[in-house]
């Protein structure tokens, strides 16, 4: 009997199964009514007294081994593993836990897809920029406060003042594209930007923007407004309306900020829209002729519009996220809430 048990121990060790059916066959072979273990325990009764201890130990060892093996097969093939035995190192890892996209990627992809449906193509520019592309070509006067050390992370001061820095907005990509591409240009630029700001629930020193650019003959403010209305409806729902408020940016004239009516309360007023009924989502305007000229596009024959939006802000509005720091902490309890997003 000892030899039989030893043979079965080896057999358990050597068994491999490739699917649920083979797992079940293994279970029946060892644990079935007429299976090996019942058989052996039946025979055990006849084992003479002095051998009982040794054979009994071996028999229990076989039972234990077969059980662990079965559980590991079941975990892999039947998906109803009801055991969490940490002492069994043969158990497979749970390799079906799928990852999911970060909420900022989900929202960025939605923005890109909405604009791609009306013919905007995507481009990216460098995160390490020079003063020309981030500021000067965009009509920022030499003493504009945004150039201040307060806001910009400088990397290298240059004698010719074309300092190297981390871009503070994706508007720098407009310049790079206009310098190298002749109109018509209909493009969108997603990317990461950097500002020397204290980290809080509403601000971070690293965040993400999407910039849009349209340059051609006869582009008007009506085109801008209609493009943004289309975007707002696609992004926030058919009932969304927009409001443009006059604003100022050095690189657009006229400039505006766009609000949408609060998608959460429908404009009635809630704590997300701070009881105004409106949420600001982007800056925009007609490209200043001086910017077109700086980039080598004839402002006599061409006009264009541009807009820029913050992805964090948009994501916070869409998902009612109250603290921007969640995006950067990679806490799985936060990230797992976006598993169904795509
Ligand atoms: N670059 C601006 C910012 O970071 C956003 C912006 C405003 C971009 C107006 C534009 C625009 O293209 O026309 O705040």
Ligand 1 closest atom vs CA 193: 4
Angstrom CA distances, 108 to 102, 185, 190, 268, 316, stand at 10, 21, 7, 28, 13
Ligand 1 closest atom vs CA 169: 4
| The 164-166 sheet, strands edge to edge | 128-130, 164-166, 154-156
Q: How far is the CA of 152 from the centre of ligand 1 (A)?
A: 16
Low-confidence ranges of the chain (pLDDT < 50): 81-83
Tell me whether residue 212 is in a domain. yes
Supply the range of the domain harboring residue 39: 2-87
Q: How far is the CA of 268 from the centre of ligand 1 (A)?
A: 28
Rounded (10°) CA dihedral 228, 302, 218, 283? 20
Residue 48 and residue 129 in one domain: no
Q: Is the CB of 169 under 6 A from ligand 1?
A: yes
Q: How far is the CA of 41 from the centre of ligand 1 (A)?
A: 80
Q: How far is the CA of 134 from the centre of ligand 1 (A)?
A: 11
Q: Is the CB of 285 under 6 A from ligand 1?
A: yes
Q: Is the CB of 284 under 6 A from ligand 1?
A: yes
Q: How far is the CA of 253 from the centre of ligand 1 (A)?
A: 12
CATH, residue 197: 3.30.930.10
Residue 74 and residue 121 in one domain: no
Q: Considering 55, 87, 119, which residue would you say is the last residue of a domain?
A: 87
Place of tokens 């190192």: 89
Place of tokens 């008007």: 220
Q: Is the CB of 283 under 6 A from ligand 1?
A: yes
Q: How far is the CA of 277 from the centre of ligand 1 (A)?
A: 23
- Ligand 1 mutation pick, 146, 147, 166, 171, max ligand atoms within 8 A of CB: 171
pTM, whole model, 2 decimals?
Answer: 0.73
Place of tokens 């003959």: 217
Residue 147 and residue 208 in one domain: yes
Angstrom CA distances, 268 to 235, 242, 321, stand at 20, 15, 20
Tell me whether residue 317 is in a domain. yes
The DSSP line for 269-302 is --TTTTTSSEEEEEEEEEEPHHHHHHTT--TTT-
Ligand 1 closest atom vs CA 287: 13
pLDDT computed for residue 85 by the predictor: 53
Q: Is the CB of 306 under 6 A from ligand 1?
A: yes
Residue 200 and residue 298 in one domain: yes
Are 174 and 214 contacting, i.e. CB atoms less than 8 angstroms apart? no
Q: Tell me which residue has its CA closest to atom 5 in ligand 1.
A: 308
Tell me whether residue 188 is in a domain. yes
Q: Is the CB of 171 under 6 A from ligand 1?
A: yes
| Whether the bond into 254 is cis, omega within 30 of 0 | yes
CA gap 297, 290 in Å, rounded: 10
Residue 42 and residue 144 in one domain: no
Q: How far is the CA of 307 from the centre of ligand 1 (A)?
A: 6
Residue 118 and residue 74 in one domain: no
pLDDT computed for residue 130 by the predictor: 97
Q: How far is the CA of 158 from the centre of ligand 1 (A)?
A: 26
Q: How far is the CA of 224 from the centre of ligand 1 (A)?
A: 14
Residue 179 and residue 307 in one domain: yes
For the segment 174-189, what is each residue's pLDDT rounded down to a tens digit? 999 999 999 999 999 9
Single out the residue of 174, 56, 52, 58 nearest to residue 125, CA to CA: 174
Q: Tell me which residue has its CA closest to atom 8 in ligand 1.
A: 308
- Ligand 1 mutation pick, 140, 144, 178, 284, max ligand atoms within 8 A of CB: 284
Residue 148 and residue 64 in one domain: no
Q: Tell me which residue has its CA closest to atom 6 in ligand 1.
A: 308
CA gap 172, 155 in Å, rounded: 16
pLDDT computed for residue 235 by the predictor: 95
pLDDT computed for residue 115 by the predictor: 98
pLDDT computed for residue 95 by the predictor: 65
Residue 10 and residue 149 in one domain: no
Q: How far is the CA of 308 from the centre of ligand 1 (A)?
A: 4
Q: Considering 21, 54, 87, which residue would you say is the last residue of a domain?
A: 87
Residue 64 and residue 163 in one domain: no
Residue 147 and residue 17 in one domain: no
Residue 61 and residue 170 in one domain: no
Total structural domains in the chain?
Answer: 2
Tell me whether residue 98 is in a domain. no
Ligand 1 closest atom vs CA 252: 13
Single out the residue of 269, 260, 125 nearest to residue 193, CA to CA: 125
Are 309 and 210 contacting, i.e. CB atoms less than 8 angstroms apart? yes
């Amino acid at each position: 009997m000892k030899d039989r048990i030893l043979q079965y121990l080896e057999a358990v060790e050597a068994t491999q199964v490739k699917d649920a059916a083979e797992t079940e066959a293994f279970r029946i072979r060892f644990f079935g009514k007429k299976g090996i273990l019942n058989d052996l325990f039946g025979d055990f009764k006849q084992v003479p007294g002095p051998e009982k201890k040794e054979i009994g130990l071996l028999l229990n060892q076989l039972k234990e081994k077969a059980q662990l093996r079965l559980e590991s097969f079941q975990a892999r093939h039947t998906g109803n593993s009801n055991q969490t035995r940490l002492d069994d190192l043969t158990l497979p890892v749970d390799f079906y836990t799928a990852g999911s996209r970060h909420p900022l990627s989900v929202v960025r992809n939605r923005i890109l897809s909405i604009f791609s449906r009306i013919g905007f193509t995507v481009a990216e520019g460098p995160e390490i920029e020079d003063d020309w592309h981030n500021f000067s070509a965009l009509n920022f006067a030499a003493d504009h406060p945004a150039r201040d050390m307060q806001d910009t992370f400088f990397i290298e001061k240059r004698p010719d003042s074309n300092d190297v820095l981390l871009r503070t907005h994706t508007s720098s990509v407009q310049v790079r594209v206009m310098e190298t591409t002749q109109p018509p240009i209909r493009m969108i630029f997603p990317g990461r930007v950097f500002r020397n700001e204290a980290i809080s629930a509403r601000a971070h020193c690293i965040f993400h923007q999407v910039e849009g650019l349209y340059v051609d003959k006869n582009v008007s403010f009506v085109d801008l407004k209609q493009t943004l209305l289309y975007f707002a409806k696609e992004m926030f729902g058919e009932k969304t309306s927009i409001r443009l408020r006059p604003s100022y940016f050095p690189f657009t004239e006229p400039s505006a900020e766009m609000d949408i009516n609060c998608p959460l309360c429908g404009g009635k007023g809630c704590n997300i829209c701070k009881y105004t009924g409106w949420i600001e989502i982007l800056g925009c305007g007609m490209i200043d002729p001086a910017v077109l000229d700086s980039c080598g596009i004839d402002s006599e024959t061409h006009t264009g519009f541009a807009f820029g939006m913050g992805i964090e802000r948009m994501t916070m509005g869409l998902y009612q996220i109250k603290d921007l720091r969640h995006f950067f902490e990679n806490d799985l309890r936060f990230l797992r809430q976006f598993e169904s997003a795509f």
